[in-house]
């Protein structure tokens, strides 16, 4: 179980630096650009927050759905920045982006043309898929937690 959650993937320096830049940039953009603003607007957003049309998520009250979104956009983004439980965190953020793209913006066009679109959510989904496949890299808390006994080739 420890390997599933905390395996950092590659420990090669340049690849790890690239993964650090990817994690920090995507995590920071999601945290400060999307999640942090929702915390301040919770009272306004809680009564009108769109629920996905996926069972069992469609059974949640609007406020609980918004809390889940905030938890992912703030908490999971912070985990990505730190490189802690990176693969599960990237999976949760990626799932939220799939819901955003194909449920919340399901009727919107794919590309942005001055209005709402699927494109931003998919642009966040792509790095999540990369992090699920690669792990956090050597410059992460995952690499401190999961020490490999032998070198990976």
Pairwise CA distance, residues 61 & 82, whole Å: 31
- What per-residue string of b and e applies to 1-27 under the rule 16 or more CB within 10 Å gives b? eeeeebbbbbeeeeebebbbebbeebb
On the 0-12 / 13-18 / 19+ scale of CB atoms within 10 A, 80 is buried
Q: Are 146 and 7 in contact (CB under 8 A)?
A: yes
So what's the pLDDT on residue 152? 52
- pLDDT average, residue stretch 143-152: 69
| Tens digit of each residue's pLDDT (9 = 90 or more) over 16-51 | 999 999 999 999 999 999 999 999 899 888 888 887
Residues of the chain above pLDDT 70, percent: 92
Give the pTM.
0.87
Best CA proximity match to 121, nearest among 137, 145, 104: 104
Best CA proximity match to 124, nearest among 33, 58, 16: 33
Q: Please report which confidence band the pLDDT of residue 2 belongs to, taking 50, 70 and 90 as the band edges.
A: low
| 114, pLDDT greater than 70 | yes
> 106 versus 39: which is more confidently predicted?
39
3-class DSSP string for 117-128: CCHHHHHHHHHH
Domain-wise residue ranges, the chain: 24-145
């Amino acid at each position: 179980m420890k390997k599933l959650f905390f395996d950092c993937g590659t420990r090669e320096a340049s690849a790890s630096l690239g993964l650090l830049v990817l994690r920090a940039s995507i995590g920071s953009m999601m945290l400060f650009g999307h999640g942090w603003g929702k915390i301040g607007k919770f009272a306004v957003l809680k009564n009108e927050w769109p629920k996905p049309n996926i069972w069992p998520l469609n059974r949640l009250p609007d406020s609980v759905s918004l809390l889940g979104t905030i938890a992912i956009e703030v908490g999971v983004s912070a985990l990505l920045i730190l490189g802690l439980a990176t693969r599960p965190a990237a999976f949760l953020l990626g799932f939220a982006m799939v819901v955003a793209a194909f449920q919340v913006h399901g009727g919107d066009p794919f590309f942005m043309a001055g209005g709402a679109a699927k494109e931003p959510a998919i642009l966040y989904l792509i790095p999540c898929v990369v992090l699920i496949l690669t792990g956090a890299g050597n410059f992460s808390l995952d690499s401190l937690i999961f020490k490999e006994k032998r070198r990976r080739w």
